Amino acid sequence: MEWPAHEYAEVNGTELAYRRFGPRSEPPVVLLHGLASSGATWRSFALGLAAARLPVIAPDFRGHGASGHRNSYSFEDFELDVESLLEHLGVSLFDLVGHSLGGRIATMVAQRWPGRVGKLVLEETRPPPLAASMAIADPGIAFGRLSLEWGMVARWWSFDRRMIGSLARQFRTPDPDWWASLSFITASTLVVHGGAGSFVPFDRLQQAVSLIPDCRLVTIEAGHRVHSTRAAEFQAAVFPFLQR
């Protein structure tokens, strides 16, 4: 199957680019990329899903890839963009796979629309601090490492660097509502941790997993970009979970 060209939709005041392929049936698997990346990061994984007859939707977030740039870049902006796109496409039931920032947004969508998300996969998604004191003790939330990765990736995809400061402040800010709403998630959930090379704190991730009613945690020694650096192992863990 060929990698499809972008389609575009004007949603939430933003021209959002997305790729959609595989059968036009429900529930599709919606793939949400990480910061400074684009939907293209899912190419191998998405083509595998489509070959298994699973429908796929892979958007580019605002300010990323082929999507439009905006003046506002908050977690809530990204969440509403995704929800508005799915409404625009007439999708009522879907599965979500999110990497890093995409996992944060996928979690928010699953918290807000618990009856519409069937399966939820969170790859290397860093939970926010539990308290302000924890945010201070957390050294920049590994922000130097994140910035290095952004700098490397941004050379290949269009990326609005204005969002870095806004998202950095949000990453560092405790979000009690995010934690309190984990119990609202009804989707069967798989959390993927990158092992020793990950900058996602394993103990905090375990706390989040314990609050989601139907959730299990797997570790793949791959660092932050599990779906890229250990593609076969990631697919082996995620494909059966989505297909069951």
Helices (H) and strands (E) in the chain, counts: 10, 8
- Collapse the DSSP code of 155 into the 3-class scheme (helix H, G, I; strand E, B; otherwise coil) and give the result: coil
> Which is it for strands 56-59 and 29-32: parallel, antiparallel or unpaired?
parallel
Helix, coil or strand: residue 233: helix
Digits of tens for pLDDT over the chain (244 positions)? 788 999 999 999 999 999 998 888 889 999 999 999 999 999 999 999 988 899 999 999 999 999 999 999 999 999 999 999 999 999 999 999 999 999 999 999 999 999 999 999 999 999 999 886 555 555 444 444 554 455 445 544 578 988 988 898 898 889 999 999 999 999 999 999 999 999 899 999 999 999 999 999 999 999 999 999 999 999 999 999 999 7
Closest to 156 measured CA to CA, from 66, 232, 73 = 66
Provide the Cα torsion 16, 90, 32, 119; round to 10°.
Answer: 170
Distance (Å, rounded) from C-alpha 103 to C-alpha 47? 20
C-alpha span between 215 and 46 (Å, rounded): 23
Beta strand 117-123 with 188-193 is parallel
The pTM (predicted TM-score) of the whole model is 0.93
Dihedral sign for Cα atoms in the order 86, 33, 144, 221: positive
Burial of 77-103, coded b for 16+ CB within 10 Å and e otherwise, reads: bbbbbbbbbbeebebeebbbbbbbbbb
User: What's the pLDDT at 22?
Assistant: 86
Instruction: Give the position of tokens 């192992």.
Output: 233
Nearest to 175 by CA among 122, 218, 135: 135
CB 36 within 8 A of CB 157: yes
Q: What is the DSSP string of 20-63?
A: EES-S-SSPEEEE--TT--GGGGHHHHHHHHHTT--EEEEPPTT
Q: What residues contact 171, with CB distance under 8 A and at least 6 apart?
A: 126, 128, 141, 143
> Positive or negative, the Cα torsion across 61, 62, 65, 68?
positive
Q: Where are the alpha helices (DSSP H) in 61-137?
A: 75-88, 101-112, 132-137
Q: Distance between CA 70 and CA 41 in Å, rounded?
A: 22
* pLDDT given at position 105: 98
